[in-house]
Amino acid sequence: MPANLIIEVMATGASLLYIVLLIRERVSCWPFGIAGSLLSIYLFIDTRLYSEAILYAFYVGMGIWGWARWSARASAGSHPVIRLSTMGNATLIAASLAFGLTLGHLLATFTDAERPLIDAMTTSFSFAATFLEVRKTLDAWVYWMVINAVTIWLYQDRALDIYAALMGIYAVLSVVGFVRWRQAYRNQQPVY
C-alpha cells in the first residue's frame, strides 16, 4: 500500500472520530481533529493544494484553542450553543469572500497551485466555519454543509478519493450536527 494512501486512511479515520465527537459536543473531539489535520498537511502539499495545507495547519492551531476553550468551559459547567446574528453572518461572508479572492489571486500568480480560486474559497470559508465551531456556534454547520459539498469535487479532481468520500460523509454529518446542536440550542433557551 503506498505511503500516501496509508496517511490518507489514518487522517480520515482520525477526522471521522473528530466529527462524530464534535456533534456529540465532547471535548475529546479535539485531539482527533489535531491528529487528522497534522497528517493531512503532508498530503495537501504533495498534491499541490496549498490552500488546503494552510487550512489544515490552521485546523491544528484551532484544535489546540478549541481543546483548551471547551475544556475550560466544561470545567466551569457552562458551554452553551450560541447563534450568530444576521449582521455577524453578513460580515463573516464578506470577509471570507475578500480573503478567498485575495488568496486565490496570490496562489494563481505566485505558485503552481491546482484550482487556486476554488481551493482558496473553500479554505477561506473553512477558516470562518472552524472559528464558529470552536465558539460552539450553531451557524457553523450551515457553512460546513456548503463547504463540504464543494470540497467533494475539489478532492476528486486531485485524485484524493478517500478525502472526497470523507467530505461526502461530512456533508451528511453536517446536517446531523446542525439538527443536534439546534436541539441543544432550543433546550437551553428559556420558555415563555
Q: What average pLDDT does the chain have?
A: 91
Q: Where are the beta strands (DSSP E) in the chain?
A: none
Phi, psi of 173 (to 5 degrees): -65, -25
Q: What's residue 113's pLDDT?
A: 84
Rounded to 5°, angle at Cα 128 from 125 and 129: 85
- Distance set, CA 119 to CA 32, 47, 128 (Å): 24, 12, 15
Average pLDDT over residues 32-46: 93
Determine the structural domain holding residue 121 and report its residue range: 3-79+86-188
- Predicted structure pTM score: 0.86
Number of domains in the chain: 1
